[in-house]
């Protein structure tokens, strides 16, 4: 066992665990952050999608030993405005477009969508239909059409 420190949803956290424990289990089992879901554990289904330093990643495939003390991890729990409590525009759009069915994949879908819009902005452009092909998050309920509509609506408010 060893100690590992990082920033989670704006707050410094320290856990005591084996170096090869995957970050998803650190979040879910040790820290009680259950927004990132477990689907495959193999970086394929994207149900666990969260952000590391503002970019989408899949904590199921990252051992805690790879996370630095300065790394900022954001999960769906950290997406709303901390001060005002306002939901993120992407979360609002999800409600407006009634996207979720069973809901299992949706935290990951939202985090992937936010990262996608931010990536396009960093490149100095808006998202295009082609960008949606980069969203690889699997939805067993088939909510893909509403996801696209919601992401477009949210992007206009981000």
**Least CB distance to ligand FES at residue 60 (A):** 3
What does R_g of the chain's alpha carbons equal in angstroms?
Answer: 15
Residue 105 engages ligand FES in binding (rule: CB under 6 A): yes
The contacts of residue 123 (CB under 8 Å, 6+ apart) are none
**Least CB distance to ligand FES at residue 32 (A):** 18
DSSP secondary structure, 51-106, as one string: EETTEEE-GGG-BGGG--TT-EEE-GGG-S-TTT-PPPHHHHHHHHTT--SS-TTH
One residue of 44, 69, 95, 156 binding ligand FES per CB under 6 A: 44
One residue of 7, 23, 27, 48 binding ligand FES per CB under 6 A: 48
Distance in Å from the first CA to the final CA of the chain: 42
Q: How far apart are CA 50 and CA 130, in angstroms?
A: 22
Nearer to ligand FES, 36 or 89 (CB): 36
One residue of 17, 43, 77, 132 binding ligand FES per CB under 6 A: 43
Q: Which stretch binds ligand FES (CB under 6 A): 79-87, 114-122, 127-135, 137-145?
A: 137-145
Q: Are 34 and 28 in contact (CB under 8 A)?
A: yes
Residue 112 engages ligand FES in binding (rule: CB under 6 A): no
Nearer to ligand FES, 1 or 42 (CB): 42
- Interface ranges with ligand FES (CB under 6 A): 38-41, 43-48, 58, 60, 100-106, 139-141, 143
């Amino acid at each position: 066992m060893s100690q590992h420190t990082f920033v989670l949803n704006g707050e410094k956290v320290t856990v005591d665990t084996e170096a090869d424990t995957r970050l998803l289990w650190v979040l879910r089992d040790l820290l009680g952050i259950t927004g990132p879901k477990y689907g495959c554990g193999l970086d394929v289904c994207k149900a666990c999608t969260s952000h590391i330093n503002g970019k989408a990643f899949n904590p199921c495939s990252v051992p805690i030993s790879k996370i630095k003390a300065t790394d900022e991890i954001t999960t769906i729990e950290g997406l709303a405005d901390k001060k005002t409590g306002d939901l993120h525009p992407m979360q609002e759009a999800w409600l407006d477009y009634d996207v979720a069915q069973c809901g299992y994949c949706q935290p990951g879908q939202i985090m992937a969508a936010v990262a996608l819009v931010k990536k396009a902005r960093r490149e100095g452009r808006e998202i295009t239909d082609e960008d949606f092909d980069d969203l690889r998050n699997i939805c067993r309920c088939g909510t893909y059409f509403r996801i696209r509509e919601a992401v477009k609506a949210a992007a206009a408010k981000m």
